[in-house]
Amino acid sequence: MSEDELSGGLPRSVLIVTDQRYLQIAQSPEGVGLLDDPDALVIPYSGRAQVNEALVSAVRDRLRKAGQLVPGSLLIKNPYDAESFEFAENAIEAFASAKYNAMANVARLLGAKEVHFMEAKIETRSQEWQFGLKVRGKLAKGGGHASNEVKDQLKAQLTGQLFFPGSDPDIEEAVAYISRRNLTNDQQVKDLVELRSGSNRITRQLVKISGTRDSESNFRSAANLANAGPVKMLKAGTTFTKTASMIRNIEISTEIVF
């Protein structure tokens, strides 16, 4: 399977196991069905795969080149870059940050002069936590350690402002970028393009984006893979599965000035 054939067809989640563990899974009653799933892929570290051989080989080569071929690791496909993965323990905050940066780049292509991070709201099943320019930080109820780690990582990555010289909107390039980043179904992004098209263009806009919605199916795939019978004892992605079960949404508010 070539890189061109693989591009755009990466599995939603990947679990890397030792060669010995792979053989144990393959010999278990539940293993056949698990190994046969090309969208939640189990990869032996170096041995030959018993099913999905071409796909396993191609994905393994890609992970090796990226420095991500680590036994016992659970990886999740980046929803904004169909050719890359993120380690599960970093995925929630990494993808939320990637969404913010993608929105900022769309704004740049549409002629923005300034992009201001305003605030982020992390909604879990037991708490709501906010930080940013409008609020110093507040908790509605006590939260778990895992969600607090996501909060701290987001706070480190999202606080700040971006400044550009400004320009006329390049609608064609913005639309092309939106397509490359798999944001064509995001209504906020589409509305922003419309508001910067034609005459009487908008000059200031407050945008609220979800940092988790685009990742939900990939997160679900990873959680199911980590909790599958033959691999559950490995406790791969334990922190991720705990956090993913707690967090409902991450909402990021951004002010854009054109």
Give the separation between CA 173 and CA 256, rounded to whole angstroms.
18
DSSP for 120-161 reads EEEEESS-EEEEESS-S-EESS---HHHHHHHHHHHHHH--E
pLDDT digits (tens, 9 = 90+) for 167-206: 999 999 999 999 999 999 999 999 999 999 999 999 999 9
Q: Are 184 and 164 in contact (CB under 8 A)?
A: no
**What's the pLDDT at 153?**
77
pLDDT digits (tens, 9 = 90+) for 231-240: 776 777 788 8
Query: Taking residues 59-70, what's their average pLDDT?
Result: 96
Q: Tell me the residue type at 119.
A: E
DSSP for 195-257 reads HTSSSS--SEEEEEEESSGGGHHHHHHHHHHHTSHHHHTTTTTHHHHHHHHHEEEEEEEEEEE
State pTM to two decimals: 0.85
**What's the pLDDT at 245?**
80
The pairing of strands 128-132 and 114-124 is antiparallel
